[in-house]
Amino acid sequence: MGKFVKIPFIGFMLFCVLAMVIEAENMKYKDPKQKLSVRIKDLLKRMTLEEKIGQMTQIERKVASAEVMSKYFIGSLLSGGGSVPKPNATAEDWVNMVNDFQKGSLSTRLGIPMIYGIDAVHGHNNVYKATIFPHNIGLGVTRQVSINRSLKCRCLVLFPGISLMICHAVLLVVDAIDA
């Protein structure tokens, strides 16, 4: 009896594995093991004109919602100066807001994640109680390359949901002085 049960079960498992392999083969753009050029080609082949237009569009946070992100396939969002989720928004408010927009993007047919952009030149100073960095030139004239680098990293680490950062360009000034 045991044998009869096992064979169809193994057959079923093999079928599942095969189905997964075929699925992965079909969805090359989602497979990180594929070459980037292969993934891009595969994705572009699948996209409709509407999806391409949406992906090339960046809108302001004020007019965005999870629904807008999925309905128009928006590729990117930006918080312009002072564009905040609410007055005195905490880091948690920001993360929740970005995650909500991202859910809208990931719910689309192709599930392309959006890119969120923020101006963090003086730190992400639209977060309540965030540290505000001095002016870029002020940071540059300290000639403390390592401090400037760590400020830049801190911006990136603190806001994992935010992938596009208008950040310190001050290192260019330091490089020019050093050169």
Ligand X SMILES: *[C@@H]1O[C@H](CO)[C@@H](O)[C@H](O)[C@H]1NC(C)=O
Residue 124 Cβ vs ligand X, minimum distance, rounded to whole Å: 16
- CA gap 160, 83 in Å, rounded: 18
| Beta strand pairing call for 58-60 and 164-166 | unpaired
In the shown chain, the binding pattern of residues 88 to 127 toward ligand X, with x for contact by CB under 6 A and - for none, equals: x---------------------------------------
- CA gap 174, 149 in Å, rounded: 11
Tokens encoding 21 = 């392999």
Tokens encoding 134 = 């001095």
Q: Which of residues 34-93 bind ligand X (CB under 6 A)?
A: 87-88
Please identify, using beta-carbon distances, which residue of 45 and 129 lies nearer to ligand X.
Answer: 129
Residue 61 Cβ vs ligand X, minimum distance, rounded to whole Å: 18
Please identify, using beta-carbon distances, which residue of 87 and 160 lies nearer to ligand X.
Answer: 87
Burial of 164 per CB tally in 10 Å (0-12, 13-18, 19+): middle
Residue 129 Cβ vs ligand X, minimum distance, rounded to whole Å: 8
How many positions of this chain bind ligand X (CB under 6 A)? 2
Please identify, using beta-carbon distances, which residue of 32 and 87 lies nearer to ligand X.
Answer: 87
Return the amino acid letter for 39.
Answer: R
Residue 86 Cβ vs ligand X, minimum distance, rounded to whole Å: 8
The dihedral sign for the CA sequence 129, 131, 137, 142: positive
Q: Which residues bind ligand X (CB under 6 A)?
A: 87-88
